[in-house]
Structure 1
Amino acid sequence: MLIARNAVGKLQASFAGKEDPKKQLGIITEGLKSIESAEKDNKTKNWTETWAIKSYLTSYAAIIETDESSSFKYFDTSEVAIKKAKSLDKYEDPSGLIKASEHNILIKKQERGSLSYFNNNFKEALDDLREASDNFPGDSTLALNTAICAQNVQLYDESLKYFKRAKEDSIKNPAVYQKMAQLYVAKSDNQNAIKILEDGLAFNPYNRYLTNDYINLLLDTENYTRAQSLIENNLNVEKSNKLLFFLYGYLQQIEGNNPTAILAYNKALATDQNYFDALYQLGLAYLNTANDAYKNTDTEKKNQYDSLINRAQFALLRANEINPNDKQTVQLLIEIYTRKNAQDKVQDLKRKLQEL
């Protein structure tokens, strides 16, 4: 035991002197040989100090050993030793060896958890990272990785807890706010989801992904006025954002303002001519405008009906080329060809619809 205590003192002096890790491992090996003898002695095997020293030496060895296999063997030994030390009747830690060992073990658990995390073994990583994060709450990266692990194993409340911890550390990463919002939406807590996205946009103004999620959530919750204002503000900055033009058109279409919707969809298509959603909605907007023209008593506007129907047909045919399996597109084309009395086209499309 005297030799083991001496090894602890030499190791602490070696750390203070920033000596070579190989020399430190030599000191640890010397101390562990003495501890092995103490473990077998009928008297010293029941001393808390015996197991505290063993845990202390092996926990440091786990950190400084460069061979991964040997490092984790030391780690496992340290965990067993610290449990034994705490199980003894006269458990005490006057030298702080157990406390130091616990700190070292946490560092190694964090390392092990991180290895599992980067190998996408989220279930294995979660316990280690969670324990490390609870002991190092100021580490926002650790909290973030713990949250992602919990999310991947579908522990959503747990995931939110650690995302909040990362957020409290003023983390600005937009992905954090995006993931938190998704979790709130999954819990049907749209109010908090909106609040989180607003917080994220305060740190990341005009971030495309946060903005898109925010607008879509506003639309899902029928906050159309707020959504339209946000889209208009963002279009002043991102003048070639096809999604913003599409969403602006969609809002106009909801309000029955089809001509403005058509202009917005065409601007979206000027950026991406194969934008399926814009083509489909454009066809629908032309069809709605054609219906309005047909009902109009004004002869000039009524004469626009055929032109509008043709434009709807053209847009929907392009949409059908891009996504031939979309049933709604086929149904609208059937409606248009029925109006044109093109029965052969109608029958072809009906057969196609039955196959989808």
Structure 2
Amino acid sequence: MQYCSRILIVAFVLLSFKGFSQKSQMLIARNAVGKLQASFAGKDEPKKQLGIISEGLKAIESADKDSKTKNWTETWAIKSYLTSYAALIETDATASFKYFDTAVVAIKKANSLDKYEDPSGLIKASEHNILIKKQERGNLSYFNNDFKEALDDLREVSDNFPGDSTLALNTAICAQNVQLYDESLKYFKRAKEDSIKNPAVFQKMAQLYLSKYDNENAIKTLEDGLRLNPYNHYLTNDYINLLLDTENFTKAQSLIENNLKVEKGNKLLFFLYGYLQQVGGNNSTAILAYNKALATDQNYFDALYQLGLAYVNTANDALKKSDADKNVQYSSLINRAQFALLRANEINPNDKQTVQLLVEIYTRKKAQDKVQELNRKLQEL
């Protein structure tokens, strides 16, 4: 009987020692957290901080295997806190991401256990550190053009830091590259709402709206971009083209006229102004505009083609007049049309519309050899 009592006493002492041992390990881990925070405040070298972390991790790894302390939220909160900071200050990439992976598992475990008051903010700090590391990993994937991998990380970080416009922008670009257009618009909007001024953002947003056949929002987006970037060449061109595509001719003409006051040598603006005049039946003004565009670039194909067409239209109008010299006017205008279209054909020999207009002109002039030659060419195109 006395022998059995001694065995029980010894067993109790061993259990007590094991419990004390785990509590002492937790105490070491807690002290490591305190030392690390003091080290940050003292701006110690990362090497010293990693030493403190290593000391704390040895203790916490013992505690997270104990049947009792492994179920404490604090155990995993400390582990995630230490490893997440290690991931940020470790310069070796492999070791850094190994710490990161451990921190992710630990914070998940901490959050899965009973609610923990987290008086020292360990969980909150760990989650913050993990997000910073995810942003770093996402940026690496982004710059390696691995947009799908980058999106998974950057989207989560952006949702936690919605005020970071650069982060939102990179997330939007990733989503666009993997063809998640609604997702892309969401993050472009976030960047825009954060007062971003980059004209490329407004261009990309407008393109996304157009892909959804949402012309109204595409126009509004370009207008917003131009308010922040007045007379920006690329935004202006996109806006004018969209106005023309949606037949907002009056607004387009007003915009072109205002921009021509600033960009007096812009051949595209002169061309577009001429085109609008031509659409409105004002061929004589269109001819003046096309010639101004060609004064900047004499090989401007679009301007040459439209100039030839404007001369043909004006020649047709001349025939309707009752003037005595209407035939002379007609002949002169047709000759100018022919000259412009021949230049256009030299620049782009494979454009069918140019060849067809030349066939019409030579037919009027009864130059059958030229008509036959150009018809043969049309069959080859």
TM-score tier, shorter chain, comes to: over 0.9
For 1:337, give the aligned amino acid: Y
1:307, CA displacement in angstroms?
2.0
Q: What's the C-alpha RMSD, in Å, of the aligned pairs?
A: 1.6
Deviations 1:63-86 (A, max 9, x none): 111222222221111111111222
Partner residue, 1:278: 303
SS in 2 for 1:282: helix
Which residue matches 1:79? 104
The equivalent position to 2:185 in structure 1, one of 144, 160, 183, is 160
Q: Look up the match of 1:353.
A: 378
In structure 2, the CA distance between the partners of 1:54 and 1:226, relative to structure 1 (3 Å rule), is: same
Q: Which amino acid aligns with 1:215?
A: I
Note closer, same or farther for the CA distance 1:355–1:67 as it changes in structure 2 (3 Å cut): farther
Aligned twin of 1:252:
277
Distance of 2:59 and 2:379 partners within structure 1:
82
Q: Which of 227, 231, 247 is 1:202 aligned to? A: 227
Give the alignment of 1:184-195 within 5 angstroms. 184-195=209-220
Q: How does 1:8-47 map to 2 (within 5 A)?
A: 8-47=33-72
Does structure 2 conserve the Cα–Cα contact (< 8 Å) formed by 1:295 and 1:302? no
Residue identity matched to 1:196: T
The size of the alignment, in residue pairs, is 356
Q: CA deviation at 1:220?
A: 1.4
Question: What is aligned with 1:99?
Answer: 124
The answer to whether the Cα contact below 8 Å between 1:147 and 1:160 also exists between their aligned partners in 2 is yes
What is the one-letter code of the residue matched to 1:297? Answer: S
Aligned to 2:207: 182
Greater CA drift, 86-95 or 75-84: 86-95
1:115 aligned to which of 140, 165, 169 = 140
What is the identity, as a one-letter code, of the residue corresponding to 1:136? Answer: F
Letter in 2 for 1:194: I
Cα distance in 1, alignment partners of residues 172 and 333 from structure 2: 52
What's the counterpart of residue 15 of structure 2? none
How far the C-alpha of 1:264 sits from its partner, in A, is: 0.3
2:153 pairs with 104, 108, 128, which one?
Answer: 128
Q: Distance in 2 between matches of 1:344 and 1:201?
A: 53
Q: Is the 8 A contact 1:245 1:264 kept in 2?
A: yes
* Secondary structure at the counterpart of residue 179 of structure 2: coil
- Secondary structure of residue in 2 paired with 1:299: coil
Match of 2:353 among 314, 328, 333: 328
Check whether the contact 1:252–1:258 (CA below 8 A) recurs between aligned residues: yes
What corresponds to 1:307 in structure 2? 332
1:257, distance to aligned residue in structure 2 (A): 0.7
Q: For structure 1, which segment, 9-18 or 168-177, has the greater mean C-alpha deviation from structure 2 after superposition?
A: 168-177
Q: TM-score of the superposition, structure 1-length normalised?
A: 0.95
Change (3 A) 1:348 1:91: farther
Question: Would the aligned equivalents of 1:125 and 1:149 in 2 still touch at CA under 8 Å?
Answer: yes
Distance 2:207 2:115 in 1: 50
- Per mean C-alpha deviation after superposition, the further-off stretch among 194-203 and 83-92 is 83-92
Which runs of no fewer than 5 residues in structure 2 stay unpaired? Answer: 1-25
The residue number in structure 2 matching 1:241 is 266
- 2:78 is aligned to 53
- What is the deviation of 1:87? 2.1
Provide the rounded CA distance (Å) in 2 between the counterparts of 1:73 and 1:316: 69
Alignment deviations for residues 206-235 of structure 1 (CA, whole Å, 9 cap, x no partner): 111111111111111211111111111111
Q: Secondary structure at the match of 1:341?
A: coil
* Whole-angstrom CA distance in 2 between matches of 1:314 and 1:65: 72
Question: What's the offset of the Cα at 1:301?
Answer: 2.9
Find the residue that maps to 2:142 and give its secondary structure: helix
1:343 is displaced (CA, Å) by 2.6
- Report the 3-state secondary structure (helix = DSSP H, G, I; strand = E; otherwise coil) of the residue aligned with 1:194: helix
**Which SS does the other structure have where 2:325 is aligned?**
helix
- How far apart, in 2, do the equivalents of 1:70 and 1:289 lie? 77
CA distance in 1, matches of 2:125, 2:148: 28
Amino acid at match of 1:174: P
Deviation at 1:192, TM superposition (A): 1.7
**Deviations 1:50-108 (Å, cap 9, x if unpaired)?**
22111111111111112222222211111111112222345553432111111011111
Amino acid at match of 1:355: E
Percent identity between matched residues is 87
Change (3 A) 1:251 1:90: closer
